[in-house]
Amino acid sequence: MSDIVIKAENLGKKYRIGHQAESGRYTALRDVLMENARGVWNKTRDMFTGMPVVQGDTHEDIWTLKDVNFEIRRGEAVGIIGRNGAGKSTLLKILSRITEPTEGRVTIRGRVASLLEVGTGFHPELTGRENIYLNGAILGMSRAEIKRKFDEIVAFAEVEKYLDTPIKRYSSGMYVRLAFAVAANLEPEILVVDEVLAVGDAAFQKKCLGKMGDVEKEGRTVLFVSHNMAAIRVLCSRSILLSRGYVEKDGSSAQVLNTYLDSGSQGKADRHWDDPKELPEYELVRLRSVCVRDESGLKIRRIGSDNLFYIEIEYWNLKPGNRLGTTVVLFNQEGTCVLSSISNHEAKWHGKDRPAGLFRSTCQMPCSFLNEGCYKVTVIIFADHPGFSVLKEDECIEFEVYDTGGVRGDYYGGWSGVVRPILQWHTEQLNTGQLVLENG
């Protein structure tokens, strides 16, 4: 038997949408009646002439997926990523047999459990208990199989108190907990999960992600759509990047995530002024270049959170005898000043006269220090004996730190704060006794 459980061949999905022209004026009752009569006539005409029925004055064909091809093997955990409108949810709906493709075909071997939207497959008037059996039956489970897993589902969802309450009274978080518990615990061969997990609280998200990891270890297939790149990186060895309905990249998660994150980058991580006439004009110094380099010396724009890197500044000292120093200031995406660092600790040049010529100053950023996100660098060169800055270039370069997942362990959530250093911890056992609680 083939190990390929999902195979998409030239998959495409087209939707026809209508556009209603706006007159920009007050609509009277007679206009509404005439418009409705015209609509009935158009639909009747189209029915007899075989023309498609389209609401609105005009229509447009939109391809949400086009020429999509991939194969997924048994036991793979595959992340589906892309920007809003890329076609991710449409793909999952086709794989879950909710909608049919317009062209191409998809072959699925195995039972699929899907969690695409809050409350999918649930009846709001039925209780949590009744919906467990209903949803299990929809997924193809026998009553005996559902009964065997029932207690495990209820415990995972943490809805024991509300088990006999109609789920129309559940919160969105309770909906998600129950839906995921049913989908993940009824042992499907293929588990398909959309971004719906974002509705749950942090503790439940961690619990769900851990369960998905267990599903993969058991040799079942997981398809996971998420904007949480750290979770994708940890859970999925492979990812598929969708862009405007097409497969832009399919490969290891590390490579695909790099492509995806780079596509949204706007700023430059390397500035170089080759023409002396174009150099920033300052009286005592001229700036030549600013860049970010990794440990091997390669210029980069993106760096893993557990890798050290360098901010490198090259400049000319135009006047012999200047006593110069260098400062870098980092700002995050919200414009908050993250840190500033000054070169006063550099014993070789601090407080000493410099000859005229080209200099390079390098600031080392430690491993596991900056949180994930984009940062902008402002460079300042100052003369220390008069005590004032002689050059300042605001936000001249930009770089990005991404979370490699290297220090997360079993935690998949986001890190709070701007910096995220690895601090030393120590735990020791003080005694072997048990705490005795006295009533009264």
Residues 96 and 160 in one domain: yes
Q: Which of 95, 108, 88, 121 is nearest to 225 (CA)?
A: 88
- The pTM of the full predicted model, rounded to 2 decimals, is 0.59
Residues 135 and 258 in one domain: yes
What is the pLDDT at residue 18?
63
- Helix 172-185 to helix 128-138 angle (10° resolution) is 40
Residues 253 and 335 in one domain: no
Residues 290 and 386 in one domain: yes
> Does some domain include residue 240?
yes
Residues 242 and 275 in one domain: no
Residues 282 and 375 in one domain: yes
Residues 114 and 244 in one domain: yes
CATH number at residue 345: 2.70.50.60
Count up the domains in the chain and report the number. 2
Residues 75 and 159 in one domain: yes
CATH number at residue 134: 3.40.50.300
> Does some domain include residue 22?
no
pLDDT in tens, the chain (440 residues): 468 999 999 999 988 776 555 545 555 666 666 667 666 666 666 555 655 555 555 667 889 999 999 999 998 989 999 888 888 889 988 988 888 999 999 999 888 877 776 566 688 889 989 988 888 887 777 888 888 889 888 888 888 888 899 988 888 778 878 888 887 777 778 888 887 666 566 677 777 777 787 887 888 898 988 877 777 877 888 999 999 899 999 998 888 887 887 665 556 778 887 765 666 556 778 888 999 999 999 998 888 888 899 999 998 888 888 888 889 999 987 778 899 998 888 878 877 888 888 899 999 999 889 988 889 999 998 886 545 667 888 888 999 888 777 666 555 556 777 788 777 776 575 777 766 766 65
Please state, in angstroms and rounded to a whole number, the distance separating the CA atoms of residues 12 and 334.
39
> Does some domain include residue 331?
yes
Domain range holding 125?
Answer: 4-11+62-263
Residues 104 and 219 in one domain: yes
> Does some domain include residue 162?
yes
> Does some domain include residue 428?
no
> Does some domain include residue 17?
no
> Does some domain include residue 34?
no
- Placement of tokens 């904007």 in the chain: 227
> Does some domain include residue 430?
no
What is the pLDDT at residue 140?
73
Residues 391 and 374 in one domain: yes
Identify the domain boundary among 370, 385, 402. 402
Residues 279 and 231 in one domain: no
Residues 315 and 368 in one domain: yes
